[in-house]
């Protein structure tokens, strides 16, 4: 009996010590936070705002004297922040300066399927792809990243990701912190693990969830701090990690205001003290600072991972000190937050014409592994549907749908918590979760070009947990998925 107990105890020790990656209290916050520059753009003759992005390989000194091989857009790591307004025509010219094919996907953007940058829009090395569309959705914090089938985790991990901010007329009139890099900060959170100067390869022991790092960085800065001079600071949180989920808050338990989720502003600010983000999700929060204080944005251990089996996927004690805000001795007063932010544009599901079910499993969605040539679902342009998504797979997953911002109607039969009441394109489903989502597909129809839905834990997405849907006109049949690689 003793021998067995020791053996079992030993096994647990190996699990937990191997997985304890807490950085709480260990980080010195010695590096000034880098802020991705706003991308330059110009407006061409027909009024289109044009951006230039180039995927390239390079080296980044995350720590002094250690050059890490990385990828980036227009630089060695991450990319500039694109910014456009509702109603604007945009075009992005993307050059591939890598020696591998990749894609660039506009996560959260409502746009035609062939502009989406999914796995059917590969950009060959040396080629340029120039998608164009009209911004037709509310102000939001969106992002862009590669989406080549089977290699998304690697391409994102190497550094290909950036923010895409949208504004609209109403959001511009609101009294919110909105000076980019001053009182309105992009916070791109990623976890990393180094092997000498290089990024560690592989997923490590028993990390079937995909790659998990042992420390975090923000905007490519390790142990970051930011000096601020305003009472209210808006943080645009983006979980750009490949597999790790965070539960953000502050060590003193102070409340903050959640003002936006993935697809834009809530109807009214919600007072919260934690906001949980799985890979791909965004949240905009506004926090109040006192003069002279230092406040740490922390990710706390997550209760809803449930049992030990699930917690293992989070990396044991998965606490991280993510970013230190250093308030100046004198702060500029900020106006109170508006009590009303926006009118909801997500469907309530009452006019849904059909329901679908999605069962999430490590081996595939609805029992099928991703197949590039197979269209899994066909939806009719201009209709609303209710999708029931279930995870009973014993490990955490999430669920992302391209092209739309949906409403969470129910979580395990109950009304959604405040953090899930805004427009969403990605939701976290710990084991034992069923969610009902209302989605409206308002087109354009393109029977030949699929959009994706998938688990945004990128290793799962790469391997199997992705499916394809097309939007068609009523009565139209789906075509055979075609590819739209561009060579110039
Ligand atoms: Cu952020 Cu299909 O991806
Ligand atoms: Cu998954």
User: Rounded CA gap, 328 and 47, in Å?
Assistant: 42
For ligand 2, an ion, list residues with CB under 5 A.
397, 455, 457, 460
Domain that includes residue 159, residue range: 33-167
Distance (angstroms) between ligand 1 centre and the Cα of 273 equals 27
Final residue of a structural domain among 105, 135, 167: 167
Can you tell me which atom of ligand 1 is nearest the CA of 402? 2
Q: Has residue 97 been placed in a domain?
A: yes
372 and 406 assigned to the same domain: yes
Span 260-317, pLDDT tens digits: 999 999 999 999 999 999 999 999 999 999 999 999 999 998 766 545 555 665 555 6
293 and 420 assigned to the same domain: no
pLDDT at site 10: 35
319 and 189 assigned to the same domain: yes
Span 61-114, pLDDT tens digits: 999 999 999 999 999 999 999 999 999 999 999 999 999 999 999 999 999 999
* Shortest-distance ligand to the CA of residue 461: 2
Span 420-431, pLDDT tens digits: 999 999 999 999
Final residue of a structural domain among 137, 167, 197: 167
Q: What is the DSSP letter of 475?
A: T
* Shortest-distance ligand to the CA of residue 364: 2
Distance (angstroms) between ligand 2 centre and the Cα of 333 equals 44
| Nearest residue (CA) to ligand 1, atom 1 | 107
Nearest to 399 by CA among 293, 249, 280: 280
Distances, alpha carbon 265 to alpha carbons 133, 258, 421, in Å = 22, 9, 10
Select the more confidently predicted residue: 207 or 236: 236
Final residue of a structural domain among 112, 132, 167: 167
Can you tell me which atom of ligand 1 is nearest the CA of 453? 2
231 and 146 assigned to the same domain: no
How much is the pTM? 0.94
Q: What is the DSSP letter of 114?
A: G
Can you tell me which atom of ligand 1 is nearest the CA of 454? 2
188 and 308 assigned to the same domain: yes
C-beta atoms surrounding 125 within 10 Å: 13
Question: How many domains are contained in the chain?
Answer: 3
ipTM: 0.98
* CATH number reported for the structural domain that contains residue 438 in this entry: 2.60.40.420
Q: Has residue 409 been placed in a domain?
A: yes
Can you tell me which atom of ligand 1 is nearest the CA of 452? 2
375 and 438 assigned to the same domain: yes
pLDDT at site 319: 87
188 and 327 assigned to the same domain: yes
Q: Are 166 and 84 within 8 A, CB to CB? A: yes
pLDDT at site 481: 87
Distances, alpha carbon 309 to alpha carbons 312, 351, 450, in Å = 5, 40, 35
pLDDT at site 3: 45
Distance (angstroms) between ligand 2 centre and the Cα of 458 equals 8
Span 132-171, pLDDT tens digits: 999 999 999 999 999 999 999 999 999 999 999 999 999 9
User: Rounded CA gap, 488 and 294, in Å?
Assistant: 51
Distance (angstroms) between ligand 2 centre and the Cα of 216 equals 21
pLDDT at site 443: 80
Confidence of residue 485 (pLDDT cuts 50, 70, 90): low
Q: Has residue 16 been placed in a domain?
A: no
| Nearest residue (CA) to ligand 1, atom 3 | 107
Residues in the ligand 1 pocket, defined by CB under 6 Å: 105, 107, 145, 147, 280, 400, 402, 452, 454, 456
Confidence of residue 461 (pLDDT cuts 50, 70, 90): very high
45 and 139 assigned to the same domain: yes
145 and 222 assigned to the same domain: no
Distance (angstroms) between ligand 1 centre and the Cα of 226 equals 29
pLDDT at site 14: 32
Q: Has residue 478 been placed in a domain?
A: no
Distance (angstroms) between ligand 2 centre and the Cα of 370 equals 13
* Shortest-distance ligand to the CA of residue 401: 1
Can you tell me which atom of ligand 1 is nearest the CA of 108? 1
Span 3-39, pLDDT tens digits: 444 444 333 333 333 456 778 877 789 999 999 999 9
* Shortest-distance ligand to the CA of residue 238: 1
Can you tell me which atom of ligand 1 is nearest the CA of 461? 2
* Shortest-distance ligand to the CA of residue 467: 1
* Shortest-distance ligand to the CA of residue 108: 1
Share of residues in the chain with pLDDT > 70 (%): 91
pLDDT at site 304: 63
Q: Has residue 20 been placed in a domain?
A: no
Distance (angstroms) between ligand 2 centre and the Cα of 321 equals 25
Span 203-234, pLDDT tens digits: 866 568 888 888 999 999 999 999 999 999 99
Query: Mean of the pLDDT values across residues 378-407?
Result: 96
Q: Has residue 340 been placed in a domain?
A: no
Q: Has residue 4 been placed in a domain?
A: no
pLDDT at site 287: 98
Distance (angstroms) between ligand 1 centre and the Cα of 196 equals 30
Confidence of residue 48 (pLDDT cuts 50, 70, 90): very high
Can you tell me which atom of ligand 1 is nearest the CA of 466? 2
Distance (angstroms) between ligand 2 centre and the Cα of 398 equals 6
364 and 467 assigned to the same domain: yes
Query: Mean of the pLDDT values across residues 417-444?
Result: 95
In three-state form (DSSP H/G/I as H, E/B as E, the rest C), the secondary structure along 195-211 is ECCEECCCCCCCCCCCC
Distances, alpha carbon 295 to alpha carbons 44, 290, 326, in Å = 44, 9, 7
Phi, psi dihedral angles at 395 (to 5 degrees): -145, 160
Distance (angstroms) between ligand 1 centre and the Cα of 456 equals 6
Query: Mean of the pLDDT values across residues 413-419?
Result: 96
Q: Has residue 392 been placed in a domain?
A: yes
198 and 267 assigned to the same domain: yes
216 and 328 assigned to the same domain: yes
């Amino acid at each position: 009996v003793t021998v067995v107990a020791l053996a079992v105890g030993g096994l647990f020790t190996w699990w937990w010590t191997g997985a304890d990656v807490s950085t709480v209290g260990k980080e010195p916050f010695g590096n000034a936070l880098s802020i991705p520059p706003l991308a330059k753009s110009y407006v061409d003759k027909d009024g289109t705002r044009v951006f230039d992005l180039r995927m390239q390989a390079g080296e980044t000194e995350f720590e002094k004297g250690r050059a890490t091989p990385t990828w980036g857009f227009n630089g060695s790591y991450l990319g500039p922040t694109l910014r456009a307004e509702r109603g604007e025509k945009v075009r992005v010219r993307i050059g591939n300066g890598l020696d591998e094919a990749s894609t660039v996907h506009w996560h959260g953007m409502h746009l035609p399927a062939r502009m989406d940058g999914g796995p059917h829009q590969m950009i060959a090395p040396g080629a340029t792809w120039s998608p164009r569309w009209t911004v037709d959705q509310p102000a939001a914090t969106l992002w862009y990243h590669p989406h080549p089938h089977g290699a998304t985790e690697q391409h994102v991990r190497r550094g290909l990701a950036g923010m895409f901010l949208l504004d609209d007329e109403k959001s511009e009139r609101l009294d919110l912190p909105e000076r980019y890099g001053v009182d309105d900060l992009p916070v791109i959170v990623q976890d990393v693990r180094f092997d000498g100067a290089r990024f560690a390869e592989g997923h490590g022991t028993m990390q079937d969830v995909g790659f998990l790092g042992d420390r975090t960085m923000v905007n490519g800065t390790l142990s970051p701090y930011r000096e601020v001079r305003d009472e209210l600071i808006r943080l645009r949180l983006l979980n750009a990690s490949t597999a790790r989920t965070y539960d953000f808050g502050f060590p003193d338990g102070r409340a903050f205001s959640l003002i936006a989720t993935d697809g834009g502003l809530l109807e009214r600010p919600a007072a919260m003290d934690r906001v949980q983000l799985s890979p791909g999700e965004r949240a905009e929060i506004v926090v109040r600072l006192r003069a002279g204080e230092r406040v740490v944005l922390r990710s706390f251990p997550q209760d809803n991972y449930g049992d030990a089996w699930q917690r293992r996927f989070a990396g044991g004690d998965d606490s991280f000190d993510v970013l230190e805000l250093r308030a100046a001795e004198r702060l500029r007063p900020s106006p109170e937050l508006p009590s009303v932010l926006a009118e909801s544009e997500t469907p309530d599901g009452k006019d849904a014409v059909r329901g679908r079910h999605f069962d999430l499993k490590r081996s595939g969605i609805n029992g099928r592994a991703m197949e590039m040539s197979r269209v899994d679902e066909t939806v009719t342009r201009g209709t609303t549907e209710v999708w029931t998504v279930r995870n009973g797979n014993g490990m955490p997953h999430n669920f992302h749908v391209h092209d739309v911002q949906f409403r969470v109607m129910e979580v395990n039969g109950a009304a959604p918590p405040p953090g899930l009441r805004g427009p969403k394109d990605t939701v976290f489903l710990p084991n034992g979760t069923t969610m009902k989502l209302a989605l409206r597909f308002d087109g354009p129809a393109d029977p030949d070009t699929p959009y994706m839905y998938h688990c945004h834990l990128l290793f799962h997405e790469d391997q199997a947990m992705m499916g394809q849907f097309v939007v068609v006109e009523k009565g139209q049949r789906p075509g055979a998925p075609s590819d739209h690689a561009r060579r110039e």
